[in-house]
Amino acid sequence: MKNVNLKILAVLLVTAAFFSSCGLNKMIRDYGDEIAFTPQVNPLENHGGQIAVNLNGRVSDGYFHRRAKLELTPVLRFEGGEKEMGSIVLRGDRTSAPGTLVNRGANTNFAFNETIAFEEGMEASELFVRARVYREGREDRAVNLPERKVADGVINTGQRVDKGHDLALSPHGYEKVTTVTRSANIYFAYMRHNINWRLPLNRQAEHEQKIQELTDFLKKQWEIKSIEVNAWASPEGEVAFNERLSENRAKATEGYVNNLFRRLERELETEMVKPELQVTAKGEDFDGFMRVLNASDLPDRQAIANVVNSQLAPAERERRIKDMTIIYAEIEKLLEPLRRGEIVVTAFEPKKTDEEIAMLSTQDPSQLDVKELLYAATLTDDLQTQLAIYKSAQRLFPQDYRGFNNAAYVYLKMENAEDAAKELERANQLAPNNGHVLNNLGVVAAWERDIENAQSYFEAAQAQGVRTAYNVGTLMILKGDYQAALTSFAGRTCTHNIALAHLLAGNESAAMTNLDCAPESAQVAYLKAVIGARRQNNNMVFENLRKAVQLNPAYKEEAQVDREFIRFFNVAEFQEIVR
């Protein structure tokens, strides 16, 4: 330091001798005392990738030579480079414009305001002001004055967004409980309730096939959830008669089901478990008649519907329908399928146990379908096992995007963005514009600080129904719009990034509340140490910084240059933690 002072003194003495004939020696000699620089913030701060360099200056009265000009240039110097900003010129009252006029008889204030882009390494930097003074018209004989340090480093807390983004796992689609339903109809003759298999409707191939499918379904002997038996009459008869007729048809259909079970038990040579039948006589099927009428190609169907619907009394309505059968032979054809008994069997599809699925997923994945295989990955918390399962899904089902997207999900959990990006490229080829894939592509872009592309991906994913508000909030932090970030985080609490947004928005209390309930991590502990430094709470700094470096030793190197801790750089306990 002594050598530096001697050099500055030598420069001032030589410069003073050079300018003595010009009357500027006093300006040169008193530069360090008569011009003051005050940064609005020190250290400087990075918000949204931009550093606002705002300096206020003051020139003491009687200092400035009336024919002198003084150029002042702020320079941010950091390892590997420097950033020189635009200059301002101060001028005496007997010089010409441009420049800020200095009143020799009073203090003169001036300001410097410029915004520069943040660059890697600027955290450990120093802001200097370079100065050169000359008599107007003699710029070629200007002399550089000693640099003045005015600020120390750049706080980069606004960029400390962690990687706790919301990731999108494509749904496996597997159901632990799946019910399967089969149904068939038995048709009855007009005003009859006995089953006649020679009836034309019962002999139609499609109806015979339905009966056979129902029989084959029962042969599987799956656990039956329910068996419903419903029966109807067509609506052209008398109401009370139709009620009795539908009851008798229901009984006949019930008898068929019971006989079917007895026959299958003999055929399969086993006792079958049959739940109690749910038998319902539905009466006349007027709604069914109106549906088939409106769906028919009868030219007068609308007129017929109007006539029938205009009758409020059921008996009159039934008479009108019966009359129509005389006028329109086609109506009888519409009524025939309504005279039926219906059998509905619902059974539980047999499933592998979770233990079986988990075992097969790693030992013989070919025994699983794609839904079972994707589901298997959710049965373990081990990321390597999950990844192996998704790789099997890719191999066995190469056209299903989910194996690739979900493998990317695991890679992102491992903070491996490079391999995640490769998986997502294939997933996006298989399922363009899929919301889950787009969200994860946005996460990769966000980690690479490609904010614009990340936002585009998140917005596209949101349009596909994926909730991306939290992820968008992290981008708002990086952009320096902390209120917008908090708006995106609405309804969420207890994460590092939410706490960070509150801190940057000036609410330390809310930041601490969220950090206290957030999952423990190196990032959480480090941010608590930052808050401790802002509160000048030594214990809070050292306790949390020690925890942060224990969880992630890389924080030692970061803390050494982090200007949040500049007051502690020379404190022994701080040095012990980061050494």
Listed residue (492, 165, 508) closest to 500, CA to CA: 508
CA distance 444 to 53: 32
The CATH label, of 1.10.1040.10, 3.30.1330.60, 2.40.128.20, 2.40.50.140, for the domain at 179-296+336-347 is 3.30.1330.60
Fold match between domain 2-155 and domain 179-296+336-347: no
Cβ atoms of residues 121 and 79 within 8 Å: yes
Listed residue (44, 131, 126) closest to 83, CA to CA: 126
Question: Cα dihedral angle (560, 561, 565, 569), rounded to 10 degrees?
Answer: 60
Q: What is the pTM of this model?
A: 0.81
The two beta strands, 50-59 and 81-84, are: unpaired
Cβ atoms of residues 202 and 252 within 8 Å: no
- Alpha helices by DSSP H, listed for 125-197, are none
- Retrieve residue 277's tokens: 């039948």
CA distance 528 to 104: 50
Q: Is 258 strand, coil or helix?
A: helix
Q: Is 175 strand, coil or helix?
A: coil
CA distance 522 to 488: 24
Question: Cα dihedral angle (129, 130, 131, 132), rounded to 10 degrees?
Answer: -170
Q: Is 336 strand, coil or helix?
A: helix
- Domain boundaries in the chain? 2-155, 179-296+336-347
Q: b/e per residue, 54-88, with b = 16+ CB within 10 A? A: ebebebeeebbbebbbbbbbbebebeeeebebeeb
The residue whose two tokens read 């050598």 is 3
What is the chain's pLDDT, residue by residue, as a tens digit (579 residues)? 444 444 445 544 444 444 443 468 999 999 999 999 999 999 999 999 999 999 999 999 999 999 999 999 999 999 989 999 999 999 999 999 899 999 988 999 999 999 999 999 999 999 999 999 999 999 999 999 999 999 999 999 999 999 999 999 999 999 999 999 999 999 999 999 999 999 999 999 999 999 999 999 999 999 999 999 999 999 887 889 999 999 999 999 999 999 999 999 999 999 999 999 999 999 999 888 888 888 888 787 776 777 666 665 666 666 666 666 655 667 778 889 999 999 999 999 999 999 999 999 999 999 999 999 999 999 999 999 999 999 999 999 999 999 999 999 999 999 999 999 999 999 999 999 999 999 999 999 999 999 999 999 999 999 999 999 999 999 999 999 999 999 999 999 999 999 999 999 999 999 999 999 999 999 999 999 999 999 999 999 999 999 999 999 999 999 999 999 999 999 999 999 999
- Name the residue type at position 297: D
Cβ atoms of residues 215 and 264 within 8 Å: yes
Cβ atoms of residues 28 and 19 within 8 Å: yes
For the four alpha carbons of 294, 300, 302 and 303, in that order, the dihedral sign comes to negative
Going from the C-alpha of 151 to that of each of 38, 157, 296, the distances in angstroms are 9, 17, 87
Q: Which CATH class is domain 2-155?
A: mainly beta
